[in-house]
Amino acid sequence: MAAGDLREARGALERPLVLDHTAGYDPRDLPAASAPGMVVEAESTVRRQRVATHAVVFDPAGTQVLLTGLWDARSETEFWNWPGGGVDPGETFEEALAREVWEETGHALARAEPLAVRSWTGRGTTGEGELEDYHGISLVWVAEADRVAEPVVHDVGGSTTSAAWVDLDDERVGGRIRRNTEDLRRAVAARARRLGERPAG
Protein backbone atom coordinates (compact mmCIF):
# COMPACT_ATOMS: atom_id res chain seq x y z
CA MET A 1 0.00 0.00 0.00
CA ALA A 2 1.24 3.54 -0.70
CA ALA A 3 2.18 6.08 1.93
CA GLY A 4 -1.38 6.80 2.98
CA ASP A 5 -2.44 4.17 5.50
CA LEU A 6 -6.22 4.01 5.18
CA ARG A 7 -8.27 2.53 7.96
CA GLU A 8 -12.02 2.26 8.07
CA ALA A 9 -13.45 3.44 11.36
CA ARG A 10 -15.75 1.06 13.19
CA GLY A 11 -19.35 2.13 13.10
CA ALA A 12 -19.05 3.78 9.72
CA LEU A 13 -22.48 5.39 9.89
CA GLU A 14 -21.59 7.27 13.06
CA ARG A 15 -17.86 7.94 12.50
CA PRO A 16 -16.02 9.07 9.37
CA LEU A 17 -13.25 7.26 7.55
CA VAL A 18 -9.94 7.71 9.40
CA LEU A 19 -6.97 8.75 7.28
CA ASP A 20 -3.43 8.45 8.61
CA HIS A 21 -1.26 10.50 6.29
CA THR A 22 1.60 11.48 8.57
CA ALA A 23 4.00 10.60 5.74
CA GLY A 24 1.83 12.16 3.06
CA TYR A 25 -0.71 10.32 0.94
CA ASP A 26 -1.47 9.44 -2.62
CA PRO A 27 -5.05 10.35 -3.67
CA ARG A 28 -5.15 7.11 -5.64
CA ASP A 29 -5.20 5.27 -2.30
CA LEU A 30 -8.58 6.73 -1.40
CA PRO A 31 -11.40 4.16 -1.66
CA ALA A 32 -14.01 4.49 -4.33
CA ALA A 33 -17.21 6.24 -3.34
CA SER A 34 -19.00 2.89 -3.42
CA ALA A 35 -16.51 1.14 -1.13
CA PRO A 36 -18.05 -0.53 1.97
CA GLY A 37 -18.27 1.85 4.89
CA MET A 38 -18.03 4.98 2.79
CA VAL A 39 -20.85 7.47 3.20
CA VAL A 40 -20.98 10.08 0.48
CA GLU A 41 -23.53 12.80 1.04
CA ALA A 42 -24.92 13.79 -2.32
CA GLU A 43 -26.98 16.44 -0.58
CA SER A 44 -26.99 18.02 2.85
CA THR A 45 -28.97 16.05 5.42
CA VAL A 46 -31.42 17.88 7.64
CA ARG A 47 -31.38 16.75 11.27
CA ARG A 48 -34.66 17.10 13.12
CA GLN A 49 -35.67 16.31 16.67
CA ARG A 50 -39.35 16.42 17.62
CA VAL A 51 -40.70 16.36 21.15
CA ALA A 52 -44.26 15.10 21.34
CA THR A 53 -46.83 13.70 23.72
CA HIS A 54 -49.43 10.95 23.20
CA ALA A 55 -51.97 9.17 25.37
CA VAL A 56 -53.73 5.86 25.74
CA VAL A 57 -57.18 7.36 26.36
CA PHE A 58 -59.75 5.03 27.94
CA ASP A 59 -63.48 5.53 28.10
CA PRO A 60 -64.78 5.81 31.71
CA ALA A 61 -65.65 2.10 31.74
CA GLY A 62 -62.15 1.09 30.59
CA THR A 63 -63.43 -1.07 27.74
CA GLN A 64 -62.40 1.10 24.79
CA VAL A 65 -59.58 3.43 23.76
CA LEU A 66 -59.35 6.36 21.38
CA LEU A 67 -57.33 6.00 18.18
CA THR A 68 -56.53 8.56 15.51
CA GLY A 69 -56.12 7.76 11.83
CA LEU A 70 -53.25 9.29 9.86
CA TRP A 71 -52.63 9.20 6.12
CA ASP A 72 -49.32 7.86 4.80
CA ALA A 73 -48.84 9.57 1.44
CA ARG A 74 -45.99 7.24 0.42
CA SER A 75 -47.93 4.01 0.79
CA GLU A 76 -51.30 5.72 0.28
CA THR A 77 -52.73 3.93 3.31
CA GLU A 78 -54.22 5.00 6.62
CA PHE A 79 -52.62 3.90 9.86
CA TRP A 80 -53.65 4.36 13.48
CA ASN A 81 -51.93 5.80 16.52
CA TRP A 82 -52.71 7.21 19.95
CA PRO A 83 -54.03 10.78 20.01
CA GLY A 84 -51.25 13.31 20.43
CA GLY A 85 -48.64 15.35 18.65
CA GLY A 86 -45.85 17.87 18.96
CA VAL A 87 -45.32 20.11 21.97
CA ASP A 88 -45.49 23.75 20.90
CA PRO A 89 -42.96 26.31 22.22
CA GLY A 90 -43.93 27.44 25.71
CA GLU A 91 -46.36 24.55 26.31
CA THR A 92 -46.14 22.05 29.14
CA PHE A 93 -46.64 18.39 28.30
CA GLU A 94 -50.04 18.51 30.03
CA GLU A 95 -51.15 21.52 27.99
CA ALA A 96 -49.94 19.97 24.74
CA LEU A 97 -51.72 16.70 25.48
CA ALA A 98 -55.04 18.38 26.28
CA ARG A 99 -54.82 20.49 23.12
CA GLU A 100 -53.86 17.60 20.84
CA VAL A 101 -56.56 15.26 22.15
CA TRP A 102 -59.18 17.97 21.67
CA GLU A 103 -57.96 18.89 18.18
CA GLU A 104 -57.81 15.27 17.02
CA THR A 105 -60.83 13.71 18.75
CA GLY A 106 -63.02 16.46 20.23
CA HIS A 107 -62.67 14.98 23.71
CA ALA A 108 -61.47 16.47 26.99
CA LEU A 109 -59.52 14.45 29.55
CA ALA A 110 -60.78 13.76 33.06
CA ARG A 111 -57.33 12.62 34.21
CA ALA A 112 -53.90 11.72 32.86
CA GLU A 113 -50.77 10.18 34.35
CA PRO A 114 -47.33 9.68 32.73
CA LEU A 115 -46.87 6.13 31.48
CA ALA A 116 -43.68 5.83 29.39
CA VAL A 117 -41.14 7.74 27.31
CA ARG A 118 -40.68 6.59 23.73
CA SER A 119 -37.69 7.44 21.52
CA TRP A 120 -37.10 6.45 17.90
CA THR A 121 -34.83 7.43 15.04
CA GLY A 122 -35.04 7.20 11.29
CA ARG A 123 -33.31 8.29 8.13
CA GLY A 124 -35.00 8.84 4.81
CA THR A 125 -36.46 11.30 2.36
CA THR A 126 -39.28 13.65 3.28
CA GLY A 127 -42.29 14.31 1.09
CA GLU A 128 -40.47 17.41 -0.12
CA GLY A 129 -37.52 15.31 -1.29
CA GLU A 130 -34.97 16.36 1.32
CA LEU A 131 -32.73 13.91 3.17
CA GLU A 132 -33.61 13.75 6.85
CA ASP A 133 -32.17 12.29 10.05
CA TYR A 134 -35.17 12.15 12.38
CA HIS A 135 -35.26 11.71 16.16
CA GLY A 136 -38.66 11.53 17.80
CA ILE A 137 -39.29 11.63 21.55
CA SER A 138 -42.75 11.22 23.06
CA LEU A 139 -44.06 11.23 26.61
CA VAL A 140 -46.91 8.70 26.65
CA TRP A 141 -49.74 9.02 29.19
CA VAL A 142 -52.51 6.78 30.47
CA ALA A 143 -55.64 8.92 30.44
CA GLU A 144 -59.40 8.83 30.72
CA ALA A 145 -61.89 10.84 28.68
CA ASP A 146 -64.52 12.81 30.55
CA ARG A 147 -67.26 11.26 28.40
CA VAL A 148 -67.85 9.08 25.36
CA ALA A 149 -69.06 10.79 22.20
CA GLU A 150 -68.59 10.45 18.48
CA PRO A 151 -65.00 11.61 17.84
CA VAL A 152 -64.63 14.84 15.88
CA VAL A 153 -61.41 15.97 14.19
CA HIS A 154 -61.19 19.73 14.79
CA ASP A 155 -57.72 20.14 13.30
CA VAL A 156 -58.90 20.12 9.69
CA GLY A 157 -55.99 20.01 7.27
CA GLY A 158 -53.62 18.54 9.86
CA SER A 159 -52.07 15.09 9.96
CA THR A 160 -55.13 13.43 11.51
CA THR A 161 -57.75 12.20 9.05
CA SER A 162 -60.13 10.40 11.41
CA ALA A 163 -60.65 9.23 14.99
CA ALA A 164 -62.52 6.34 16.58
CA TRP A 165 -63.33 4.53 19.79
CA VAL A 166 -62.16 0.91 19.46
CA ASP A 167 -62.17 -2.18 21.68
CA LEU A 168 -58.95 -3.04 23.50
CA ASP A 169 -58.34 -6.04 21.25
CA ASP A 170 -58.91 -4.14 17.99
CA GLU A 171 -56.19 -5.00 15.46
CA ARG A 172 -55.65 -1.31 14.69
CA VAL A 173 -54.11 -0.73 18.14
CA GLY A 174 -50.81 -2.40 17.19
CA GLY A 175 -51.28 -2.86 13.48
CA ARG A 176 -48.73 -0.34 12.18
CA ILE A 177 -47.00 0.85 15.35
CA ARG A 178 -46.09 -2.29 17.26
CA ARG A 179 -44.96 -0.51 20.42
CA ASN A 180 -48.58 0.60 20.95
CA THR A 181 -49.41 -2.95 22.02
CA GLU A 182 -46.93 -2.61 24.89
CA ASP A 183 -48.28 0.87 25.70
CA LEU A 184 -51.78 -0.59 26.01
CA ARG A 185 -50.59 -3.43 28.25
CA ARG A 186 -48.91 -0.94 30.58
CA ALA A 187 -51.90 1.39 30.50
CA VAL A 188 -54.35 -1.38 31.43
CA ALA A 189 -52.11 -2.37 34.35
CA ALA A 190 -51.72 1.25 35.50
CA ARG A 191 -55.47 1.82 35.38
CA ALA A 192 -56.10 -1.36 37.36
CA ARG A 193 -53.60 -0.28 40.03
CA ARG A 194 -55.29 3.09 40.35
CA LEU A 195 -58.68 1.43 40.79
CA GLY A 196 -57.33 -1.29 43.06
CA GLU A 197 -58.21 -3.98 40.56
CA ARG A 198 -56.30 -7.03 39.35
CA PRO A 199 -55.39 -6.71 35.63
CA ALA A 200 -57.04 -9.31 33.41
CA GLY A 201 -54.68 -12.03 32.17
Burial 134-150 (b: 16+ CB within 10 A, else e): eeeebbbbbbbbeeeee
Check whether residue 140 and residue 188 sit in a common domain: yes
Check whether residue 69 and residue 29 sit in a common domain: no
Task: Select from 121, 126, 117 the least CA-distant residue to 14.
Answer: 121
Q: Judge whether 201 lies within some domain.
A: no
Check whether residue 7 and residue 70 sit in a common domain: no
d(C-alpha 16, C-alpha 40), whole Å:
10
Task: Select from 195, 190, 197 the least CA-distant residue to 55.
Answer: 190
Check whether residue 3 and residue 91 sit in a common domain: no
Dump strand ranges (E) for 33-130. 46-58, 64-72, 77-81, 84-86, 109-125
* Of the candidate ranges 18-32, 96-110, 135-149, 175-189, the one whose mean pLDDT is the lowest: 18-32
pLDDT in tens, 135-160: 999 999 999 999 999 999 998 777 89
Where does residue 84 fall: left (phi above 0), alpha (psi -120 to 50 degrees), or beta otherwise? left
DSSP result, 182-197: HHHHHHHHHHHHHHT-
Q: Judge whether 61 lies within some domain.
A: yes
Check whether residue 64 and residue 99 sit in a common domain: yes
Q: Judge whether 200 lies within some domain.
A: no
pLDDT in tens, 102-137: 999 999 999 999 999 999 898 877 767 788 888 999
Contacts (Cβ under 8 Å, ≥6 apart) of 194: 113
| Domain total in the chain | 2
For 154, the domain range is 46-195
Check whether residue 8 and residue 106 sit in a common domain: no
pLDDT at 171 over 80: yes
Q: What is the CATH number of the domain that holds 69?
A: 3.90.79.10
Check whether residue 11 and residue 105 sit in a common domain: no
Check whether residue 81 and residue 24 sit in a common domain: no
Check whether residue 73 and residue 94 sit in a common domain: yes
